[in-house]
A = this chain, B = another copy of it.
């Protein structure tokens, strides 16, 4: 049964979203509790699926991936089997970190992280445009990014 989140749970999620390496002790102190209930609540949040995983966030630029690009795509044919194949291919490209089927002026929106403009062009020419039934393709190249986070503001949810 889906257990509802109380204020402490929400605070825990907010804290762990920012920094998942905090010790239960330090969190317990911040919330004015002892470590055991904090520990147990976190385990429950994990088990019930509110927390999916814990990951290290890397600095893409430092790793040599300096360019983010969004690509809107329309397809010419829309058979189900083709769509599935298309998505499968797209998802296998390591440059693609997001692939959304969308409504609006495109069928798909991709988010890519690549080394530079050259790598972007290589992707377009030697990967994307090789896919059949490709219609309109429109790229938006990120010139600068003022916000980019996974962190969800929980104050509006609970």
Where the two chains meet, the residues of A that have a C-beta atom closer than 8 Å to any C-beta of B are 13, 16-21, 48-60, 62-65, 68, 70, 72, 87, 90-91, 94-106, 109, 113, 115, 138-157
Q: Can you name 7 extra interface pairs (CB under 8 A) apart from A68-B100, A98-B149?
A: A20-B20, A49-B59, A54-B57, A55-B57, A63-B154, A100-B142, A100-B148
Give how many copies assemble into the complex: 2
Closest chain B residue to A102 by CB distance? B140
Contact A101 B146 (CB under 8 A): yes
In the assembled complex, the Cα of A147 lies from the Cα of B109 at a distance in Å of: 11
Contact A102 B70 (CB under 8 A): yes
CB distance from A1 to the nearest CB of B (A): 14
Pick the residue among B19, B58, B140 that contacts A72 (CB under 8 A).
B140
In the assembled complex, the Cα of A152 lies from the Cα of B7 at a distance in Å of: 34
Pick the residue among B49, B100, B151 that contacts A55 (CB under 8 A).
B151
